[in-house]
Structure 1
């Protein structure tokens, strides 16, 4: 007598393993189904600058970063921390002012943004590429110039 849990005839066969894997894999999201991007661009820019200044943890931004952007920010953050340590400078919250913010949508569900930020010592640009995944925006590319 077969055990009910191992009886293949009783298990539902609604799709192949590939269909199930695709169903649970990250799903692209259309721009119309995503929240407004402008506040995220501004807040993520300020967050990135705070991470590099050493007053915010990278993990606090992980939700909005893709894997490559997260790794790049961790690496850059570690280098900034080492440089501050070598100079004996304490981490200080930066006072930045956003000068301009430019957005373009090359295709549905993708936004590229460039934010120019003025700081006390210099003006910088932050370039980001956002893609819609699972109903939210994620920065898959991030560059601080």
Structure 2
């Protein structure tokens, strides 16, 4: 009996191939599936200002931000802590109020906003980009100006 040639099947050639990252990775959400972003923007801004002042732990923001934003904020927190230590200052809860929120929606499921932060001697702004991921808002960019 003659030997049969070995048949090699490559799963990637199959029409039923599923990209695992697409199937199991983060899923984008439509704006209609997401809550109003303004409350999230105000809360996130409040927390970011307190984290930068050393009055709040950065871990508390982990579920609201992407990994890249978390790493960036972590570096800024280390620098702020180092500057306070050099000046001999201790972390204190900052005095401020969250002011006007200006929101734009450049694409479905994406919100870009500027939030004003009123402090006793100046006004700062926090720029935030939210993306709808896994049926909730997550900050994919934050800049404290």
What is the TM-score of this pair, normalised by structure 1? Answer: 0.85
Helix, strand or coil at the partner of 1:64:
coil
Aligned equivalents of 2:84, 2:41: Cα separation in 1: 27
Once the two structures are TM-superposed, the CA of residue 120 in structure 1 deviates from its matched residue by: 2.2
Is 1:118–2:123 an aligned residue pair?
A: no
5+ residue gaps, structure 2: 1-15
Q: For residue 10 of structure 1, what is the aligned residue in structure 2?
A: none
Aligned equivalents of 1:41, 1:97: Cα separation in 2: 13
Structure of larger gyration radius: 2
Aligned equivalents of 2:108, 2:18: Cα separation in 1: 29
Once the two structures are TM-superposed, the CA of residue 17 in structure 1 deviates from its matched residue by: 4.5
Cα deviations by residue, 1:3-46 (Å, 9 ceiling, x for unpaired): xxxxxxxxxxxx4352x442111111001101221111000000
Helix, strand or coil at the partner of 1:63:
coil
Is 1:95–2:90 an aligned residue pair?
A: no
Q: For residue 27 of structure 1, what is the aligned residue in structure 2?
A: 27
Is 1:76–2:76 an aligned residue pair?
A: yes
5+ residue gaps, structure 1: 1-14
| Higher helix fraction (1 or 2) | 1
Q: For residue 131 of structure 1, what is the aligned residue in structure 2?
A: 131
Aligned equivalents of 2:121, 2:108: Cα separation in 1: 37
Aligned equivalents of 1:21, 1:67: Cα separation in 2: 17
Aligned equivalents of 1:38, 1:54: Cα separation in 2: 25
Q: How many residues were matched structurally?
A: 132
Once the two structures are TM-superposed, the CA of residue 136 in structure 1 deviates from its matched residue by: 0.6
What is the TM-score of this pair, normalised by structure 2? Answer: 0.85
Is 1:16–2:1 an aligned residue pair?
A: no
Aligned equivalents of 2:129, 2:86: Cα separation in 1: 33
Task: Compute the RMSD of aligned alpha carbons.
Answer: 1.6
